[in-house]
Structure 1
Amino acid sequence: ACSVGTYAESHQGGAPLVVYNASHASLPMTIFSPLNYPKAQHMASGARWFGAGVKATATSIPAGWSQLFLLSAGRGINGGFTAWGKRMLAFTGKPRADMYKDATHSTIGFWTDNGGYYHYATGDQKWGSTYEEVLPKVKAYHDALGVPFGHWQFDSWFYPKDGGVDPGGGGGAVTNWTADPSIFPHGMAYIQDKLGVPIVMHNRQWSPRSDYIKNEPFEWYTDRKAAVPVDPHAFFMWFFKQQQGWGLSMYEQDWMCTEYDEVSALRTNLSLADLWLHGLRGGPG
């Protein structure tokens, strides 16, 4: 069973506290979570106590700041989470999302993520030495078999980074979110023309040495290993206009914990982390 004493504290605020009876999952349960500014709060517990409030890493609290939390109850794990979700949606005024709204959500996809055959590998060299040569042949093979892949995913192997990548996928930060010439010599629009399917595209933490910092008129908070735009909304509204012809159906922002850990401003500024997440809404879908 999950109790106050078994709650795992996190330096990034922590997941919601869920108290339930694992032996009798249909019994009433409770959920305690932030209701607003989820990246500004922190939750912690001991054997007999539980506490929540503004994160201790914040260097200042603006006048009038208000941090809200929600204590929600329901019957059973599924029922309890459904009730919690309805209350969260009611507070934010957001409608429930359509889980099958597009090809990315309503079809099976071919993913090249960590653990996949084509994750930082192009397979047998007889099919080609670059992803640009190999992937159209993979697509033709799928079509010949009649496998109904409705979308594809490109992982972090397709764009330039400021360092190598370890076996777990971690490592260098993105310097320019576009085709690495050694991967797709003719660019992203070219490979989309060859594949002709909606594509989910991965991204990782932003490099403090990225081309966007060097060449574009946006201010950034930079640290040794990562960076975040000072005005995430303005940056992403511009950024997501740069992928014309790519077939980009979903932007997959990965390594968000690394971004948060490596950029001190995300931890010391109460609003920046949530502004960063809201800024991502400027993307596709």
Structure 2
Amino acid sequence: MRYLGYYTDAGAYYYYNTEPGMNYEKTFDYIRDYADDTNYPIRFAQYDSWFYPHGEGNGLLEWDFRTDNGYFPIDLPIGPPGSGVGPYSFPNDTRFWPDFFSNRRQWGLKTYEQDWMDVQINRMNATQQDLMIGRDNWRQM
């Protein structure tokens, strides 16, 4: 192993936590500066779901190109119509994922994480009524 990465997912020190008196941006500047000063070979960071605007039930509010997204809430105002009933939905347009990934180089994507899949699947009425809807969505991804 030659390089380290820094994750902010559940269990990490900075998961929904910042340095005292700092916002998230300043906290990550602090982490980068500390790594540089101590010669830790950190080459990437994963910004977890707390780093995007939240909608109903803390789901994704705006469809923007990000490397980590939580579940798709029913009130997602941008993007294709959802297939959910209740607080969760899926992108229900076969163009959604190809469009998303076609832009990956423009915004520097190396790894994408679709977070909270278990919660999304288990709490959607649509996935309880149609076994193929979840499979079809994730296959498109």
The answer to whether TM tops 0.5 is yes
Amino acid paired to 2:58: G
Residue 177 of structure 1: how far off its partner (Å): 4.2
Amino acid paired to 2:36: D
Residue 138 of structure 1: how far off its partner (Å): 1.4
Amino acid paired to 2:100: F
> What stretches of structure 1 of length at least 5 have no aligned partner?
1-99, 101-105, 164-170, 180-187, 189-200, 281-285
Amino acid paired to 1:221: S
Residue 261 of structure 1: how far off its partner (Å): 1.6
More helix, by proportion: 2
Q: Is the 8 A contact 1:111 1:153 kept in 2?
A: yes
Percent identity between the two aligned chains: 28
2:53 is the alignment partner of 1:160? yes
Residue 254 of structure 1: how far off its partner (Å): 1.4
Number of equivalences: 141
2:61 to 172, 175, 188: 175
Partner of 1:276: 137
More strand, by proportion: 1
Partner of 2:6: 110
Deviates more, 1:141-150 or 1:233-242: 233-242
Partner of 2:82: 220
Partner of 2:76: 210
2:118 is the alignment partner of 1:252? no
Partner of 2:39: 146
SS at match of 2:36: helix
Q: Distance in 1 between matches of 2:123 and 2:36?
A: 43
Q: Is the 8 A contact 1:112 1:118 kept in 2?
A: yes
SS at match of 1:271: helix
Distance 1:131 1:178, change over 3 A: farther
2:17 is the alignment partner of 1:121? yes
Distance 1:124 1:270, change over 3 A: closer
SS at match of 1:118: coil
Residue 107 of structure 1: how far off its partner (Å): 4.0
Deviations 1:258-278 (A, max 9, x none): 111222222322422211111
Give TM-score scaled by structure 1 length: 0.44
Residue 241 of structure 1: how far off its partner (Å): 4.3
Q: Distance in 1 between matches of 2:59 and 2:139?
A: 21
Distance 1:178 1:123, change over 3 A: farther
**What's the Cα RMSD here?**
2.5
Residue 142 of structure 1: how far off its partner (Å): 0.2
Residue 243 of structure 1: how far off its partner (Å): 5.7
